[in-house]
Amino acid sequence: MLNKIPITLASKSPRRQELLKLMGLNFKVELRDVDESYPESLSPAEIAVYISEQKAKAFEAGNEVVITADTIVALNGEILGKPRDKNHAQEMLAKLSGNKHEVYTGVTLVKGNKIFSFYDRTEVYCKAVTGEEIDFYIDNYKPFDKAGSYGVQDWWGLVVVERIEGSYTNVMGLPTEKLYRELEKFVSF
């Protein structure tokens, strides 16, 4: 059972921590400062995996499994990271309004000298919203720590997201169903 293996989650994301708890995994949280810049030539999926691997390289894994992850939002090839401020969040949310975008989460597993990375992709369709609704969302939900300036688990996901194709938890920041399968394989060899 996976709940018996020691796991370190290298993420300050409360959503990732909650998802691991809901998966029944026992873990501790450790953080390292990591440069999250990436080569401009990478695709959105490659960016998510690249940053996840950069985070993993900051750890020396022993017997525990270290899990790192990075989530990015891409709209027509443009990467929408975490907003710098309210104006930046308004710009991003206005771009997402009435459009389809993709969410990519790269995940890296490390144990000893073994390392394995994967990613998941989800398409998210948003209805059109007004500037007033965008301001309401930003003022009340403060999405400054979220890629694309929104959380699928809060007002934006409940009111603006019309549908998703793919993993819901991937949009939250960790594709749990894929992570569970990959963890089972990773710890068994």
pLDDT tens, the chain, 189 aa long:
788 899 999 998 999 999 999 999 999 999 998 998 999 999 999 999 999 999 999 988 688 999 999 999 999 999 999 999 999 999 999 999 999 999 999 999 999 989 999 999 999 999 999 999 999 999 999 999 999 999 999 999 999 999 999 999 999 999 999 999 999 999 986
What CATH number is attached to the domain comprising 112? 3.90.950.10
Cα distance between residue 119 and residue 100, in whole Å = 19
Structural domain containing residue 147: 2-188
**Active-site residue flag, 145:** no
Cα distance between residue 127 and residue 159, in whole Å = 9
Question: Residue 133: which residues within 8 A CB-CB, separation 6 or more?
Answer: 160
Q: Say if CB 103 and CB 148 are below 8 A apart.
A: yes
| Residue from 70, 85, 135, 154 carrying the catalytic annotation | 70
Number of domains in the chain: 1
